[in-house]
Structure 1
Amino acid sequence: MENALRACCKGIKIGKILIHGHGTNGRQLIYEKLPSDIASRHVLLLDPVLATGNSAIKAISLLLTKGVPESNIIFLNLIASPQGINAVFERFPMIKLVTSEIDATLNENSRVIPGLGEFGDRYFATDD
């Protein structure tokens, strides 16, 4: 998603947030590097898949601690589950969410179904 954003918005400032999942609801912030003036900007938060919403909630919480107003966050993803959308809006009703597809539900492993499989595996060709 970042490459497409860079191609369409040349010179855009891009920050990075890396969140590692632990089971179905634990999330750990591994890395963040954000523009120093992020609090005064509108922020496009990019994540290809919104499943449980836990990673998105962690990322949005980080942005809020950096001073970004909730209403200045636009969360962009490709596929979302209804459960993830509900979880994000329960915590952050003022953000904007843009998705291309809302799939049916989550399976027992908290994967969006029908979904597209594990995005990281598909992107890095590590799927068996």
Structure 2
Amino acid sequence: MVAPTTQSTSGSVPPSVFTLPHTAQLEALYTIIRDKNTSRGDFLFYSDRIIRLLVEEGLNHLPVLPKTVETPTGAIYEGVGFEGKICGVSILRAGEAMEAGLREVCRSVRIGKILIQRDEETTQPKLFYSKLPQDISQRYVLLLDPMLATGGSAMKAVEVIMEHGVPEERIIFINLISSPEGLKNFSTKFPNLRVITGWIDQGLNEKAYIVPGLGDFGERRYCS
């Protein structure tokens, strides 16, 4: 399990937040996807590499149980096996981009979808659509969304998942870039929910965009 670290100077990171080890390779990958001149093809390729790393780290936070197996040499190996089943839930539309990374490391994993948009009258996030596995209450849930700005959509998604019987501590939120403000809001409301993020940026600007950020992830991912 990776110890919490931060790149932000806006305050300490909540204890439930974990980041990837910040190697030169990881910073190079983020430099590529942040660059406004990066082609769509390169943005897809390098963001997918980061997503794969994030999913792998998310799996490190799942509980395991002792498991004994016999190797082809006839020797006994005392190892571990995952405890319980998992599923993914993507927040549409940008979260769908992370589904492939989850499927690459978890064969036949079930994936649900949640669509949340801002209600123009109340300015609050509103649920417009959800389709979740019927047995989601019996699974650990990896919640997928690449960007955490104010945290409104992610918090609403967690509420929807918990309404379907999933305890807070069995949800792991995975994203590429977070703002300190969003992490504080999210972790204050859900202190027992672990967050796996690739990078914590400086903060939000007057339009509530993450700075320096990488722009609109969905637009860069799906539009040429």
Q: Provide the secondary structure at the position in 1 that maps to 2:214.
A: coil
4+ long deviations beyond 3 Å: none
| Greater RCO (Cα-Cα under 8 Å, separation 6 or more) | 2
Q: Answer yes or no: is 1:81 the counterpart of 2:167.
A: no
Choose which of 93, 97, 104 in structure 1 pairs with 2:195.
97
CA distance in 2, matches of 1:13, 1:58: 21
Partner of 2:169: 71
- Could you tell me how far 1:45 is from its partner in structure 2? 0.1
Q: Answer yes or no: is 1:19 the counterpart of 2:94.
A: no
- Could you tell me how far 1:22 is from its partner in structure 2? 4.4
What's the CA shift string for 1:1-47, capped at 9, x where partnerless? 11111122110011011111347x52111110000110111000000
Partner of 1:9: 106
CA distance in 1, matches of 2:206, 2:104: 37
Larger Rg: 2
Choose which of 114, 117, 120 in structure 1 pairs with 2:218.
120
Residue 99 of structure 1 aligns to which amino acid in structure 2? T
Choose which of 28, 35, 39 in structure 1 pairs with 2:126.
28
Residue 156 of structure 2 aligns to which amino acid in structure 1? K
- Could you tell me how far 1:93 is from its partner in structure 2? 0.5
CA distance in 1, matches of 2:211, 2:105: 30
Choose which of 148, 156, 166 in structure 2 pairs with 1:50.
148
- Could you tell me how far 1:79 is from its partner in structure 2? 0.2
Would you say how many aligned residue pairs link Structure 1 and Structure 2?
Answer: 126
TM-score normalised by L of structure 1? 0.93
Residue 49 of structure 1 aligns to which amino acid in structure 2? M
CA distance in 2, matches of 1:55, 1:18: 9
Cα root mean square deviation, aligned: 1.5
CA distance in 1, matches of 2:110, 2:222: 25
TM-score normalised by L of structure 2? 0.54
Residue 207 of structure 2 aligns to which amino acid in structure 1? N
Residue 8 of structure 1 aligns to which amino acid in structure 2? V
List runs of 5+ in structure 1 lacking aligned partners. none
Q: Provide the secondary structure at the position in 2 that maps to 1:14.
A: strand
